[in-house]
Amino acid sequence: MAWLSEHNLVSAISQAGGFGILASGNMPPEKLRQEIQLTRTRTSHPFGVNLITMNPELPELVRVVTEEKVSHCVLAGGLPDQPTIDALKQANIRVILFAPSLPLAKRLLKRGADALIVEGHEAGGHVGPVSTAVLIQEILPHVTEVPVFAAGGIASGAMVAGLVAMGAAGCQLGTRFVVAHECVAHAHFKNAFLRAQARDAQVTAQFDPILPVIPVRALVNKGTQSFNALQLQLIQEVKAGSKDKKTAQLELEHFWVGALKRAAIDGDVDNGSVMAGQSVGLVHTTQSVAEIMEELTALLH
């Protein structure tokens, strides 16, 4: 949800009774500060900030969220280091981490997680290998110390109610909110969602273990081909020793950031990255955030 989960959408979600999360993506620190402050001009309700752990400016971004006294911080994109977690907790910020397995969930609790998100393979963007349905059964019964939120493939009130009945504290959704009126996504991007079927949202492949790649789920297009070509090029550079593995991985991440903006904001849905979860096949119309929230929570009342 980088580029899209910004102050307009986040404030609308929080105003409607949800908990909006600002997606910092590759924002410079002062841009993140501006987004936090703009969100506060639009809502007095709580919201959080998502930080990407592999961002080279992570320490500066952590400083911004602590100075702005953000209440909750979601760390994504890899296992966060202990100093990052400690810095947030020392500032009385609740830390929310992603748990792709039960052993890692237990490990994250020891490292200070205040809540966990269990995100399945069906989700959009960077995803793990296991489905939401399996992860929920693996983790929920065995983690009672902190709230656990479900994510990936969720688009209806029935699904939300079912997961809450199984013990989830709530659900995290992205794809459903892309077509909200308050989302700044380009009309071409939203229309691509409305036309797509679940099978159109596919994950990228890793071609060689010498360059570990976190799969990214998006609608298949020319942008997918461009990513594959870049990955093959970087593999050759790593093997030749002209580029180290970390630099190559960061270059892949920069590709996704730029390609997502090209599609989501500029409207180039052919060459950009149209990141979407498999629940895109369940999205059929544009609605206000308030209407979406009402449908998602109807069975919880």
- Specify the pLDDT at position 78: 84
Q: Residue 52: beta bridge partners? A: 76
pLDDT reading at 175 higher than 80: yes
Contacts of 258 (CB under 8 A, 6+ apart): none
Q: How confident is the model at residue 294 (pLDDT cuts 50, 70, 90)?
A: very high
pLDDT tens-digit map of 228-287: 999 999 999 999 999 999 899 889 888 888 899 999 999 999 999 999 999 999 999 999
DSSP label at residue 79 = P
CA distance 108 to 37: 30
Instruction: Report the percent of the chain where pLDDT is more than 70.
Output: 100
The beta strands (E) that lie in 152-257 are given as 170-172, 201-203, 216-219
Q: Are 216 and 193 in contact (CB under 8 A)?
A: no
CA distance 97 to 109: 9
Mean pLDDT taken over the chain: 96
209-to-122, 215, 244 alpha-carbon distances in Å? 23, 13, 14
Closest to 27 measured CA to CA, from 46, 45, 47, 1: 1
Instruction: Report the percent of the chain where pLDDT is more than 90.
Output: 91
- Specify the pLDDT at position 142: 97
CA distance 20 to 152: 17
Burial class (CB within 10 angstroms; exposed 0-12, middle 13-18, buried 19+) of 64: buried
pLDDT reading at 296 higher than 90: yes
Burial class (CB within 10 angstroms; exposed 0-12, middle 13-18, buried 19+) of 160: buried
- Specify the pLDDT at position 253: 83
What integer is the mean pLDDT of 147-175?
A: 97
**Domain residue spans in the chain?**
7-184+282-300, 187-278
| Six-digit token string for 100 | 């792709």
pLDDT tens-digit map of 203-231: 999 999 999 988 899 999 999 999 999 99
**Does residue 190 or residue 54 have the better pLDDT?**
190
pLDDT reading at 101 higher than 90: yes
- Specify the pLDDT at position 111: 97
| Six-digit token string for 163 | 């997961």
Burial class (CB within 10 angstroms; exposed 0-12, middle 13-18, buried 19+) of 149: buried
Q: How confident is the model at residue 67 (pLDDT cuts 50, 70, 90)?
A: very high
Q: Are 132 and 119 in contact (CB under 8 A)?
A: yes
Least trusted range by pLDDT, from 12-26, 178-192, 211-225? 211-225
pLDDT tens-digit map of 108-129: 999 999 999 999 999 999 899 9
pLDDT reading at 301 higher than 80: no
CA distance 74 to 22: 9
- Specify the pLDDT at position 77: 85
CATH 3.20.20.70 for the 7-184+282-300 domain, yes or no = yes
287-to-102, 148, 150, 232, 292 alpha-carbon distances in Å? 36, 28, 23, 40, 7
First to last CA, the chain: 28
pLDDT reading at 19 higher than 90: yes
- Specify the pLDDT at position 154: 98
- Specify the pLDDT at position 26: 86
